[in-house]
Structures are given as structure tokens and as C-alpha cells.
Amino acid sequence: MRVKKFISIVAVIMFCGVIFTGCSKYEDGPSISLLSKISRLTGVWNVTTMNGHTIDSDYESVELTFDKDGDYNSKITILSISYSSDAKWQWADGKEVIQIIDENQITEFTVTRLTKDEFWFMDDDDELWECEKMSD
């Protein structure tokens, strides 16, 4: 009887290992999340790092806002001068890519990490952006 129980436990552990290692959609995680991708993405994000360059919040800031209805805003501030741009956003490529749709162009972000507090993506120039959520 103990052997059957042991085999059952090992089978369950192996099954869970296969399931959880195959759930990650993004290169840098998370492996699994109970929140939908839309609920994790929507909100205001503060860019902390752009291609290895740490954003110095005393002199500059970059904020990205994703709304559930597809509205997008980016706000860049350098030395107290701000520039803001509005567009639309949508998922593409099985929710691994975010398309920013402006009047004249489409920009794509390839998501590498998306948690409720962290959002990392590669832009069209293969530069890594790392963001922290400021608010929902």
C-alpha cells in the first residue's frame, strides 16, 4: 500500500512540475498569475530603467498609462519640461506584444515580464525598459 501511495505522490509532483514550468508566457516571468494580463497591465507605470540607464527621478521621469478601454498615454519630463502623447493600445501575438497605435505609426513592445508591480518590455530597437507600477 505504501508503494502505491508513494508512486501516486511522485506522479502528482511530476505533473505539477510539467504544468507550472509550461505556464510562463513571458521570458522573465511570472510563471503563473491569478490576475489577468489586462488587470496587471492597466494603470500608471514609472519607467525606472531604459536599456541599462537608471532614470534619475530628480531630473527626469517617464510615465506610461494603460487604461482598460485601450487608451494609452506617455509622459516624459526632463528638467521640469513635460511632453505628453496620447494613443491607443492593444494586445498582439498571443498577448506577448503590445501595440501602441498613434495617428501615423504602430510601435510594438515585446513583454518580457508582467506582474502586478513590474512591467518589463523590449522596444522596437531591442532596448529593455523596466517599469514599476505607481497606481492602478
Domain ranges of the chain: 2-135
Residues 18-52: tens digit of each pLDDT:
334 334 455 545 555 678 889 999 999 999 999 88
Q: CATH top-level class for 2-135? A: mainly beta
Which phi and psi (to 5°) does residue 13 adopt? Answer: -65, -45
Query: Any residues with CB less than 8 A from the CB of 68 and at least 6 apart, and which?
Result: 38, 42
C-alpha cell at 15: 505533473
Residue 44: predicted pLDDT: 97
pLDDT digits (tens, 9 = 90+) for 50-83: 988 898 877 789 999 999 999 999 999 998 899 9
Task: Give 124-134 pLDDT, tens digit per residue.
Answer: 999 999 999 99
